[in-house]
């Protein structure tokens, strides 16, 4: 549930509720969320996701950790089961870089929107 909640926070990078605290939040409602806080949190999340994915892929290849199941097998290593495993987890490899791209786009959009009208081209 924690990972799902954190994943849903990525929607705040593309939705208006990622710029202003919602009205239902006591004492903070309507305040603008600082750009730096959001960008640093998203960049940190992107880095962590990329590290976890890199570790998972390298662990599959080099078997860093002993298997924890009763059979001693670390998981499907061939056949349709292995293809299903890789097909299910392959999109996670893209999550970190895509989150980093969203953080950069959020930063650029907010900077452009917060710039004074005289500074705009």
pLDDT per residue as tens digits for the range 94-116? 999 999 999 999 999 999 887 77
Output DSSP code: residue 33: P
Q: What pLDDT does 51 receive?
A: 94
pTM of the model: 0.76
- Please calculate the CA angle 47-114-26 and round it to the nearest 5 degrees: 75
Cβ neighbours for 81, distance < 8 A, ≥ 6 positions apart: none
* Phi-psi label, residue 92: left if phi above 0, alpha if psi -120 to 50, beta otherwise: alpha
User: What is the Cα–Cα distance from 69 to 58, expressed in whole angstroms?
Assistant: 19
| pLDDT of 11 above 80 | yes
Please say whether the beta carbons of 49 and 99 come within 8 A. yes
Rg (CA), the chain: 20
> Which single residue is written with the structure tokens 């452009």?
112
């Amino acid at each position: 549930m924690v990972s799902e909640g954190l994943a849903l926070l990525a929607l705040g990078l593309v939705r208006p509720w990622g710029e202003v605290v919602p009205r239902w939040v006591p004492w903070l409602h309507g305040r603008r969320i600082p750009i730096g806080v959001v960008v640093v949190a998203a960049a940190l999340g992107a880095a962590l996701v990329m590290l976890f994915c890199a570790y998972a892929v390298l662990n599959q290849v080099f078997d860093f950790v002993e298997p924890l199941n009763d059979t001693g097998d670390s998981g499907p290593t061939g056949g349709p089961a292995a293809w299903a495993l890789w097909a299910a987890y392959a999109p996670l490899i893209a999550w970190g870089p895509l989150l980093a791209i969203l953080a950069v786009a959020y930063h650029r959009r907010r900077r452009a929107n917060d710039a004074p009208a005289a500074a705009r081209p």
